[in-house]
Amino acid sequence: MTEGIVSVTGLIAHGRGEAYDYLLGERTVPEAEAAEAAAAAMLVLAKRPMITINGNAAALAAKELGELSCASGAPMEVNLFHRSDERMAKVISFVEGETGEKVLGRDQGGILPGIASDRSRCTKEGLMAADVVLIPLEDGDRAEAMVKLGKKIISIDLNPLSRTNQEATVSVVDEVTRAVPNITLWVKKLKGDPDQARSVLANYQNKKNLASVMDRICHELKEGHV
Ligand code: ATP
């Protein structure tokens, strides 16, 4: 935060995430494992996959996202909620430094319809052109706007009730630094085998998976495990 990568409200969002992680036992639960495999299958089968990175995702998991980008061929783009030209340059340079990869976002010629203010800005060649977008720790408005444009969304968000998770095609309820390397492992397994990727996706039901995460939290609370 002191370096300007994460905003103050970003830190509060991290706190929300930690609370949910605690309720889930600070581990990758079986529902998350299933969602991570489905997320990888979607990335592998996509025509133009894309990873969008905000300040939260950059600060917590830039390196891991860079590795996923290399494995999946999905380019990274920085999109900020609290946007200024200075902060955009700072976060892009930070992610490039951490990953050694080129990151999109310096030239934001596209607009996500339905989003007020500068945070609607994105790149034409990245986010606007993508069919499948991975959105770690994203806010609900932007997720909804992407879905309205016909994009398939993979969220990574520890709150099973968040609008982002409710909007996503695949909702990964797991801590971002555990989720991303696991998706990368699955990408490596599935990328040479599109039939298996299709079968993983066909057997995955997102709403059912999210409901099961909620049941798990309720059960753990009732049983006094947390
Ligand atoms: P929404 O707008 O989607 O309904 P929100 O208002 O909470 O939810 P944000 O604050 O932009 O939206 O989202 C940040 C989300 O990221 C929160 O749901 C939080 O639980 C989640 N989160 C925070 N830290 C982590 C983490 N380390 N790993 C995964 N998810 C996290």
pLDDT tens-digit map of 12-35: 999 999 999 999 999 999 999 999
**Residue 157 alpha carbon, nearest atom of ligand 1:** 30
pLDDT of res. 116? 86
Judge if the beta carbon of residue 163 lies within 6 A of ligand 1.
yes
Q: Say what percent of the chain tops pLDDT 90.
A: 93
pLDDT of res. 117? 83
Residues 6+ apart with CB under 8 A from 30: none
Please report which confidence band the pLDDT of residue 119 belongs to, taking 50, 70 and 90 as the band edges.
confident
Average pLDDT over residues 139-152: 95
Q: Please say whether the beta carbons of 111 and 120 come within 8 A.
A: yes
Average pLDDT over residues 43-67: 97
pLDDT tens-digit map of 123-134: 999 999 999 999
Report the distance separating Cα 177 and Cα 181, nearest Å.
Answer: 7
Average pLDDT over residues 162-184: 98
Which residue's CA is minimally distant from atom 30 of ligand 1? Answer: 157
pLDDT of res. 223? 87
Cα–ligand 1 centroid distance for 137 (angstroms): 5
**Residue 143 alpha carbon, nearest atom of ligand 1:** 3
pLDDT of res. 82? 87
Judge if the beta carbon of residue 157 lies within 6 A of ligand 1.
yes
Mutation test residue for ligand 1: of 134, 137, 155, the one with most atoms within 8 Å of CB: 137
How many other C-beta atoms can be found within 10 angstroms of the C-beta atom of residue 217? 18
Which residue's CA is minimally distant from atom 15 of ligand 1? Answer: 137
pTM above 0.85, yes or no: yes
Judge if the beta carbon of residue 162 lies within 6 A of ligand 1.
yes
Cα–ligand 1 centroid distance for 195 (angstroms): 33
Radius of gyration of the chain (CA): 17
pLDDT of res. 99? 98
Please report which confidence band the pLDDT of residue 224 belongs to, taking 50, 70 and 90 as the band edges.
confident
Cα–ligand 1 centroid distance for 160 (angstroms): 10
Please report which confidence band the pLDDT of residue 70 belongs to, taking 50, 70 and 90 as the band edges.
very high
Report the distance separating Cα 67 and Cα 176, nearest Å.
Answer: 13
Judge if the beta carbon of residue 176 lies within 6 A of ligand 1.
yes
Please report which confidence band the pLDDT of residue 172 belongs to, taking 50, 70 and 90 as the band edges.
very high
CATH class for the region spanning 8-223: alpha beta
Arithmetic mean of pLDDT over the chain: 96
